[in-house]
Structure 1
Amino acid sequence: MWSLCRTFSRSVVSAGGLFSLQTRTFPTPLCRSQIHPPVRSSSGTRFNVPPSAEFVARVSGIPTMNKLPHQETAEGLDAAFIGVPIDTGTSNRPGARFGPRQIRVESAMLRSFNSGTRAAPYESLVVADIGDVNVNLYDLKDTCTRIREAYRKVLSAGCIPLTMGGDHTIAYPILQAVAERHGPVGLVHVDAHADTSDVVLGERIGHGTPFRRCVEEGLLDCSRVVQIGLRGSGYSADSYAWSRAQGFRVVQVEECWFRSLAPLMEEVRAQMAGGPVYLSFDIDALDPGFAPGTGTPEIAGLTPIQGVEIIRGCRGLNLVGCDLVEVSPPYDTSGNTALTGANLLFEMLCVLPNVKYL
């Protein structure tokens, strides 16, 4: 467990090129006894802050997300990173069960502040890594039950889940728990695929069906659903007719080519109208040239820059949960797909409600 239970001064480079020490101090990750429950003073100054690589080697320690403390439950947390290591819902390449583990390893590169937006999530929210859902790799339906029950507990603690998948099946039971707490939610769905199939190989639950099931159960506010980056060949001339018929806004990838997506996200923010929103990001939304480690790659996808624009464009939304799914490390031994996923999850943390910007 974490042993660096002390504070340090953050080193900075002065105008003359010499190192000096700021007067403010930042806590390193707290001991487990200190974070369960976390100390949350009225001034809001006690948070879990990832250790700086200036003082702690990235390759050292237990690989939690962003080297945050591990906590058994979501009690006392504002947000939590959670792994759901399954790939039993996949239709092509397996391997996403290893996604959460590899994302955590690659997240050692992440730092505490967002230099692009000046977001300071670790000065705003109490965040920890609460480990993985105990999934059943032999029974997908049982796994969905386990996921739903686990997320009910997280949400009942008033904690916003940031999920590392796992294949996209997991969005269905997560949204069951989310809608149970918040009612039908808006959805920002970033993906190469609509994931609205009805039955695949005789099964109604899999990574190609979650959002069809969500609509059937009334989990989504269909007037506040947008799907971005859809592409690829299909089984009919219009693969997205069902989505449009439900009232979803469908943004096919051709509408995104060679463009900034910041204007699109202005429209999406208006569409979401202040209600609760869930963000679901399949890594295969990105072109496989950037993210080859995924189960169902499709060419001509979004760039990482556009992915970041979409997430940063969610700032100001009432986000009640986020996921990053379908990272399959065996298909990218460089680790870069998982590294991209880790960075996108950090961007999601930075746009949660109540995160301050410096």
Structure 2
Amino acid sequence: MTHPFRAPLSFMGVPHVTDPGAARGVILGLPFDCGAHPTRVGARLGPFSIREQSLLLRPWDGDSGINPLEQLGLVDLGDASVTPGDVDGAMGIIEAAMDIALSGGALPIALGGDGAIALPQMRALARRYPELCVVHLDAHTDAYPIDGLNNATPFARAFEEGLIDPRGSIHIGTRRSHMVPGVYDYGRQLGYGIIGMDQLIKDGIDATMGQVRDRIDGRPVYLCFDMDFFDPAVAPGVCTPAWGGASAREGFAVLQALAGLNVVSVDINTISPPHDVGGMSAFLAATLAFETLVMAACGKFAL
């Protein structure tokens, strides 16, 4: 008799498990947002939408000829059991979920969720990886000179807690308006490198990413991909959109140019389905996750 129940929706239909076992790649949903934005709340729904849109993808990569799902034994751990808006409670739950995702030595790919989810991930990662560095692709630094923990401050709090090495960390893609003055000056005071989107395009992706590799110098990397790195023309469904961002082609080129880094964790966040047109932003995020898996399976990250 056929089993009458269906497994939970998983990324590209991979097995849903609660223990990563021997998997070399794991998906982890972090369905949390602070609920603090005055007009745009919805990133708590991001993981489900990314998984839903991932069903449009096919498992074989045309360029490399490999199936990264099989190569990495990819599994989906499901979602951390968080309550949106409960910032303090969610931080401990996400940190514990990351501990499980990291327990078997796999590469975790976290699906967010707003930018606040970065801090508990870094707390878990810092225990395993001394001199942890961050490559943060975002229209904003998320290291604002303000108090508290929200989606504007995870990298300020990470500096204060000594979780990462800011001298080897960099924010890429910054641009446009901010809610407080002096954001870039403050980030640089903390030790972060900041490369604006205009500079990235002017200097070229390959040259810029070469500078990033020199800055990191072999240290372990938490790769945090805020989807508002992309232009709203291709990713309208994000928490804080900003015009002048990357095209889809440029975003994939940036990811490819990060080959050779010791990437130990990946975070793709800020998809906001209530503001997403036809799921296109979530589909872009799912494709970005797939491309990351291909790079890991091909040995382009020093796992």
Q: TM-score when scaled to structure 1?
A: 0.77
Q: 1:260 to 1:100 in 2, by over 3 A?
A: same
Task: Name the structure 2 match of 1:170.
Answer: 117
Q: 1:247 to 1:138 in 2, by over 3 A?
A: closer
Task: Name the structure 1 match of 2:47.
Answer: 100
Secondary structure of 1:346's counterpart equals: helix
Amino acid of the residue matched to residue 193 of structure 1? H
For 1:152 and 1:248, the matched residues in 2 are separated by 26
Secondary structure of 1:265's counterpart equals: helix
Is 1:288 the counterpart of 2:232? The answer is yes
Task: Name the structure 2 match of 1:277.
Answer: 221
Candidates 51, 61, 72, aligned match of 1:114? 61
How do residues 193-208 of structure 1 correspond to structure 2 at under 5 angstroms?
193-199=140-146, 204-208=148-152
Secondary structure of 1:152's counterpart equals: helix
CA shift, 1:301, in A, is 1.1
Q: Please, which moves more after superposition, 338-347 or 105-114?
A: 105-114
Task: Name the structure 2 match of 1:157.
Answer: 104
CA shift, 1:219, in A, is 1.0
Q: 1:98 to 1:197 in 2, by over 3 A?
A: same
Candidates 263, 271, 274, aligned match of 1:330? 274
Secondary structure of 1:124's counterpart equals: helix
Q: Which of 1 and 2 has greater Rg?
A: 1
Secondary structure of 2:244's counterpart equals: coil
Is the Cα–Cα contact under 8 Å of residues 120 and 356 in structure 1 kept in the other structure?
Answer: no
CA shift, 1:333, in A, is 3.7
Residues matched between the structures, number: 297
Q: 1:116 to 1:264 in 2, by over 3 A?
A: farther
Unpaired stretches in structure 1, ≥5 consecutive residues: 4-59
Is the Cα–Cα contact under 8 Å of residues 119 and 355 in structure 1 kept in the other structure?
Answer: no
Unpaired stretches in structure 2, ≥5 consecutive residues: none
Q: TM-score when scaled to structure 2?
A: 0.90
User: RMSD value over aligned CA atoms?
Assistant: 2.4
Which one has the bigger helix percentage?
2
Give the structure, 1 or 2, with the largest relative contact order (CA under 8 Å, sep 6 or more).
Answer: 2
For 1:236 and 1:122, the matched residues in 2 are separated by 43
Is 1:253 the counterpart of 2:200? The answer is no
How do residues 45-84 of structure 1 correspond to structure 2 at under 5 angstroms?
63-84=9-30
Q: 1:231 to 1:119 in 2, by over 3 A?
A: farther
Q: 1:168 to 1:131 in 2, by over 3 A?
A: same
Task: Name the structure 2 match of 1:45.
Answer: none
Amino acid of the residue matched to residue 131 of structure 1? G
CA shift, 1:159, in A, is 2.0
For 2:202 and 2:186, the matched residues in 1 are separated by 27
Secondary structure of 1:63's counterpart equals: coil
Candidates 200, 205, 208, aligned match of 1:264? 208
For 1:196 and 1:316, the matched residues in 2 are separated by 26
For 2:298 and 2:262, the matched residues in 1 are separated by 10
Q: 1:106 to 1:259 in 2, by over 3 A?
A: farther
Which one has the bigger strand percentage?
1
Is 1:239 the counterpart of 2:183? The answer is yes
Is the Cα–Cα contact under 8 Å of residues 89 and 205 in structure 1 kept in the other structure?
Answer: no
- CA deviations 1:2-21 (Å, max 9, x no partner) are 99xxxxxxxxxxxxxxxxxx
Amino acid of the residue matched to residue 68 of structure 1? V
Is 1:210 the counterpart of 2:157? The answer is no
For 2:259 and 2:165, the matched residues in 1 are separated by 20
Secondary structure of 1:256's counterpart equals: helix
Amino acid of the residue matched to residue 52 of structure 2? V
Is the Cα–Cα contact under 8 Å of residues 66 and 108 in structure 1 kept in the other structure?
Answer: yes
Amino acid of the residue matched to residue 72 of structure 1? T
Is the Cα–Cα contact under 8 Å of residues 85 and 99 in structure 1 kept in the other structure?
Answer: yes
Secondary structure of 1:352's counterpart equals: helix
**Segments of 4+ moved more than 4 angstroms:** 116-120, 235-238
